[in-house]
Amino acid sequence: MNEEYYHFTAKPEQEAKVERVQQENSIKQYPFKDISTPLFMHIKEQRQYDYDVTILSAEGKTISSFQEAGIDSRMVYSSNVNNLKYYQPFQGEKILIAANNDKQNKEYVSTINEAAKVLTSKGAITSIVVPSKGEDFNEMLKNKGATAVKELMIPEIMKLINTQNVKTESEQVVKTDIAQKIGLRR
């Protein structure tokens, strides 16, 4: 099995870096590449995925959970939830932000919502998906299995796939506010 995902770190005052991680028979290779803002999409693997959606997460273990569940899509994770907004999408890129639901605080919700808004302003079509209250995707996989992860993710992915590239910002956002979904009062 050949699993691939990208890890990026970005700080506003520095050039972003991306780490392509390829795991094959427990051997990890870590070639680093610069991802100057307009070049990010060039480092993505040039192959057909089952789903033409980028799954964006703040945790590598979330991406690993999706891979273990058998979801085949471009996957990118950041070392910090605050960095999600620095991802550089290509125009019309469909991005599903996978936000864990074990950090129910206003700052986390605000950060996820801000990332969705910023990515939308950069031309992406965004959506946010969260597991059940008090869970992250890794726990969901362990406790409920791969089928439960797929049953949550696939419909959200399909909504994005079926969303046409549109011009207005309000139409580009499929779901932008996770506060209601995780039951957090503002």
- Give the tens place of pLDDT for each residue, 91-123: 999 999 999 888 767 888 899 999 999 999 999
Q: Is domain 43-172 annotated with CATH 3.40.50.970?
A: no
Cα distances (Å, whole numbers) of residue 98 to 27, 57, 81, 168: 26, 5, 11, 23
Structure-token match 């780490």, residue found = 19
Q: According to the model, what pLDDT value does residue 178 have? A: 54
Q: Which residues contact 39 (CB under 8 A, 6 or more apart)?
A: none
Cα distances (Å, whole numbers) of residue 45 to 5, 105, 134, 151, 153: 9, 35, 34, 26, 22
* pLDDT tier at 50, thresholds 50, 70, 90: low
User: Structure pTM?
Assistant: 0.68
- Give the tens place of pLDDT for each residue, 62-101: 888 998 999 888 888 887 888 889 898 989 999 999 998 8
Partners of residue 8 on adjacent β-strands: 18, 78
Mean pLDDT of the chain: 72
Q: Where are the domains of the chain?
A: 43-172
